[in-house]
Amino acid sequence: MAAAEKISTRLSQEQIEQFWRDGYATVENAVTSDQLAALRRELAGWVDASRTETKPFGAPTIDGRPRFDMGAEHTAERPALRRVNNPSDISPAYRDVMENSAVVDMVSDLIGPNVKFHHCKINVKLPGSNTEVGYHQDFPYTPHTNDDIVTALLMLDDMTLENGCLTVVPGSHRGPLYSLFEKDVFVGSIDAKTTAKLKAQEIPVTGKAGSVCLMHTRLVHGSDANRSKANRGLYICVYSAADAFPLAANPLPNPNEGKVVRGEKSRQARLMDAVVELPAQAKVASFFATQGQKSAGG
């Protein structure tokens, strides 16, 4: 008889304390092997489909943008698919993980029993692609009435130092909210001088496929390009406490926005004491373009 599959279902007290102290916690075996295999299989099909495309493509999302985005270096021989917008809209496998996986239970361990879904995406770094993520916090992209918001980054592949792993600044979620504007233009990343100071404190986040990094919405993070021969994919789902309500339009609107995935909805908005800069993100194929990285065909 095969050994029973070991899946993490809830967070330990140590993991909860790490999240609130450092702004993140990484948990192995966050989804079943069948769930992971289904996600990887679907993504591989989308990568193959991108080979015949020369610009962002796919049936549009509900706000009219292409579902799939590739970097300017994209070719049929070396595809550079870098973003799938709200894959849970089009894939039962991705919707199942978004709604029903143990990841959602872990999120409720952090921000309470009543949890809402906000949006999701896949960020992909294929070998030879130039995709990188400039330093930023998620909250200025998606400000809410309070910051009980968790970004769950599920590793679809092993995430290593060589293939462009996530880097974070521990404890930065307890610090200031940084502007993502350059003068009057929303550029989606922190200014170069501040970034240099923050990067001096950064640490890498690595892990095996099937692990999840649970990240506080205010944690400063980014990542470098993939310099290896291995894929690096992340399925990223954003969840909030039920009493956290958006202060700005969803950068990736979807039919499931606000869906209660654990517990009950709230009629009350909980307000935190803060001054929040509102985003002004242009409607582009993905936030990589907002940060100055052109899309294929652009």
pLDDT tens string 173-190: 999 999 999 999 999 999
Q: Which amino acid is at 29?
A: N
Q: How far is CA 278 from CA 103, 178, 180, 181, 241, in A?
A: 29, 12, 10, 10, 20
Rounded to the nearest integer, the mean pLDDT of the chain is 96
Q: Residue 296: its pLDDT value, please?
A: 97
Name which of 204, 123, 107, 119 is nearest 156 in CA terms: 123
Tokens 């894959």 correspond to: 87
Q: Which helix (H) or strand (E) holds 233?
A: strand 232-241
- Check residue 273 and report its DSSP letter: S
Locate 283 and state its tokens: 């409607």
Phi–psi pair at 105, nearest 5 degrees: -65, -40
Instruction: Give dist(CA 226, CA 228) in Å, integer.
Output: 6
Query: Residue 16: pLDDT band by 50, 70, 90 thresholds?
Result: very high
At position 187, the amino acid (one-letter code) is V
- Bridge partners of 288? none
* CA gap 278, 284 in Å, rounded: 18
Query: Per residue in 215-257, pLDDT tens?
Result: 999 999 999 999 999 999 999 999 999 999 999 999 999 999 9
**Res 4: pLDDT:** 61
Please write the tens of the pLDDT for every residue from 24-50: 999 999 999 999 999 999 999 999 999
The SS3 assignment for 20 reads helix
CA 163, CA 149: separation in Å to the nearest integer? 27
For residue 5, pLDDT over 80 is answered with no
Is the confidence at residue 8, as pLDDT, over 90?
Answer: no
For 93-142, the pLDDT digits (tens) are 999 999 999 999 999 999 999 999 999 999 999 998 999 999 999 999 99
Question: pLDDT confidence of 3, banded at 50, 70, 90?
Answer: low
Q: DSSP assignment, residue 167?
A: E
pTM for this one? 0.97
The DSSP bridge partners found for residue 27 are 212
